[in-house]
């Protein structure tokens, strides 16, 4: 079969898939009916259902079956009235790790906090608290990724005494404890530091926010970690 034929079949598949998704948006998205119709409305998904939604979204992304409905005058206007995200995602600023794409999510579904190295300072913590306590998101995901440049910079600061200009060093410093801890683990230092950084950030959220802790004790929110593989597109969830 010619390349043009393959492309045509793929295009047809995506057109049909997108048409089905657009027609049944409320069913596939799960939370779409709650979006913005009432600024006080919150998602009806439980934390387990929200996690399952992220997993199925990532599977669709990996298979090339993603079909994110983003625009359209009616949907844009509806979202102007409010938001009801089903998850807070704390992730890296890396241009290859956009959560909405990785999890096949649309506007209004994810409340995203992004900074290189997916660390959490007081500003980020306040954003997480807002997503949980005000917007009612039942899930917080801390997502690292393979080959993270910020974590690699932290590794070099520890192992090579590397120095970085401007505010880059300040940005990298919160990752140093993860590198030091990862040095005691067998295997690849960078990979271990990336996974350890995710766990430490989860701990920092749980220990640093009374609001999140209370919501967790009440069963209103769940904290999970994950690492996104740049090569395969797969997110390895670490509940």
For residue 41, the model assigns a pLDDT of 81
Say if CB 92 and CB 72 are below 8 A apart. no
67, part of any domain = yes
27 pLDDT higher than 60: no
- Summarised one tens digit per residue, pLDDT across range 208-228 is 999 999 999 999 999 999 999
Report how far apart the first and last C-alpha atoms of the chain are (Å, whole number).
44
Q: Count structural domains, the chain.
A: 1
Alpha-carbon distance of 82 to 101, in angstroms, equals 22
Say if CB 222 and CB 47 are below 8 A apart. yes
3, part of any domain = no
Q: What is the mean pLDDT of residues 192-220?
A: 97
- Neighbouring residues of 83: CB distance < 8 A, sequence distance ≥ 6: 35, 36, 108, 111, 135
36 pLDDT higher than 80: no
Pairing of strands 110-114, 139-145: unpaired
Alpha-carbon distance of 3 to 1, in angstroms, equals 7
Q: Which residue has the tokens 């505010």?
A: 167
6, part of any domain = no
Say if CB 89 and CB 143 are below 8 A apart. yes
Domain housing 208: 31-238
Q: Indicate the pLDDT class of residue 71, thresholds 50, 70 and 90.
A: confident
24, part of any domain = no
Alpha-carbon distance of 200 to 205, in angstroms, equals 9
The helix, strand and coil proportions of the chain, stated in percent and rounded to the nearest 5, come to: 50, 10, 35
111, part of any domain = yes
Q: Which residue has the tokens 């590397």?
A: 162
87, part of any domain = yes
Alpha-carbon distance of 231 to 219, in angstroms, equals 35
For residue 30, the model assigns a pLDDT of 41
20, part of any domain = no
- The tokens of 104 are what? 């096949």
Say if CB 97 and CB 56 are below 8 A apart. no
19, part of any domain = no
For residue 18, the model assigns a pLDDT of 53
Q: What is the mean pLDDT of residues 81-87?
A: 94
- The residues that bridge with 225 in the sheet, in sequence order, are 142, 238
17 pLDDT higher than 60: no
- Summarised one tens digit per residue, pLDDT across range 92-138 is 999 999 999 999 999 999 999 999 999 999 999 999 999 999 999 99
- What CATH code is carried by the domain that includes residue 201? 3.40.1050.10
60 pLDDT higher than 50: yes
């Amino acid at each position: 079969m010619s390349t043009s034929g393959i492309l045509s079949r793929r295009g047809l598949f995506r057109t049909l898939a997108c048409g089905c998704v657009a027609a049944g948006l409320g069913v596939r998205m799960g939370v779409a009916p709650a979006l913005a119709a009432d600024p006080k409305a919150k998602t009806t998904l439980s934390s387990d259902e929200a996690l399952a939604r992220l997993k199925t979204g990532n599977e669709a992304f990996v298979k090339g079956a993603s079909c994110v409905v983003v625009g359209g005058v009616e949907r844009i206007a509806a979202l102007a009235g409010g938001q009801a995200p089903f998850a807070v995602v704390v992730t890296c600023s890396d241009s290859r790790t956009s959560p909405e794409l990785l999890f096949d999510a649309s506007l209004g579904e994810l409340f995203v906090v992004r900074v290189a190295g997916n660390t959490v300072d007081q500003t980020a913590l306040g954003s997480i608290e807002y997503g949980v306590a005000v917007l009612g998101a039942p899930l917080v995901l801390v997502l690292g990724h393979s080959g993270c440049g910020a974590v690699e910079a932290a590794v070099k600061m520890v192992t090579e005494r590397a120095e970085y200009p401007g505010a880059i060093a300040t940005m990298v410093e919160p990752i140093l404890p993860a590198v030091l801890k990862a040095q005691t683990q067998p295997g690849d230092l960078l990979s271990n530091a990336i996974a350890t950084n995710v766990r430490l950030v989860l701990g920092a959220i749980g220990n640093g926010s009374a609001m999140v802790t209370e919501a967790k004790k009440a069963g209103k929110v769940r904290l999970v970690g994950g690492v996104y593989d740049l090569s395969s597109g797969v997110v390895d969830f670490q509940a």
